[in-house]
Amino acid sequence: MTMPDEGLSPVVRVIAAMLFPFILIFSLYVILHGHLTPGGGFQGGAIGASAVVMLIVAYGARWVESKAGEESVSVLESLGGLMFVVTGLLGFLLAATFLSNFLVGEVLFGEIPTFGSNPGILNTGGTLPLLNIAVGLKVIGGLASVVLIMALGSRRDAA
């Protein structure tokens, strides 16, 4: 194949570097507005992981690893899982059962929207925004580290 061994041409690199923050911002928007608009933790995490995958394809896995190794990326994933379980256990301690929505009616994320379809306000949802952020971190870290490890490992075997 005529593809360069590591990364792509400068045109692709410049465009990828310009697009990367916007895709990441869109991913954070989908995660943080998961309780108001379509999408949620998994969808936004998939979009954010696709931004990292675009960097891996454009710049090569070695460059991405020099910026953020797969160990630190998979720490993000474990952090998301821990946040999910801790939120569930807080529901167990502060309210009735595991994962019960203990924040409805409280100050943080506690407002209750009017019935029917409305644009919504961000400060609603109880524990749902926290769980969305947890799952979003988990999916970004998980999918990005999977693709990064695959690119690094397969490249070492080929060389």
Partner 1 sequence: MRKIAALVFLVFVAFLLYGAYEMRDFGRPPSDMDDYIIENSQNETGANNAVTAVVFDYRGYDTLGEATVLFTAVAGVMAMFRRRDDHA
Partner 2 sequence: MWSELIHVVIPVLLVIAALVAILMRDLLASAVALAVMSLLLSLEFYILQAPDVAIAEAGIGACITTAILVIAIKNTRRMEEEA
Residues in contact with 78: Cβ distance below 8 Å, sequence separation at least 6, in sequence order = 141
Q: Which does 76 bind (CB under 5 to 8 A by kind): partner 2, partner 1, none?
A: none
What is the residue-wise DSSP string for 64-93? HHHHS-HHHHHHHHHHHHHHHHHHHHHHHH
CB nearer to partner 2: pick between 1 and 93: 1
**Within 114-133, which residues bind partner 1 (CB under 8 A)?**
114-115, 117-118, 120, 124-128, 131-132
Q: Look up residue 49 and give its amino acid.
A: A
**C-beta closer to partner 2: residue 22 or 98:** 22
- Which range, of 4-12, 15-23, 54-62, 136-144, touches partner 1 by CB under 8 A? 136-144
At residue 1, what is the residue type?
M
Residue with tokens 């360069």: 4
- Residue 121 has phi, psi (to 5 degrees) of -120, 155
Minimal CA–CA distance to 27: which of 7, 4, 59, 50? Answer: 50
Q: Which is nearer to partner 1, 10 or 38 (CB)?
A: 38
Residues that bind partner 1 (CB under 8 A): 34-38, 40-42, 70, 74, 77-78, 80-81, 84-85, 88, 98-99, 101, 104, 109-115, 117-118, 120, 124-128, 131-132, 135, 138-139, 142, 145-146, 149-150, 152-154, 156
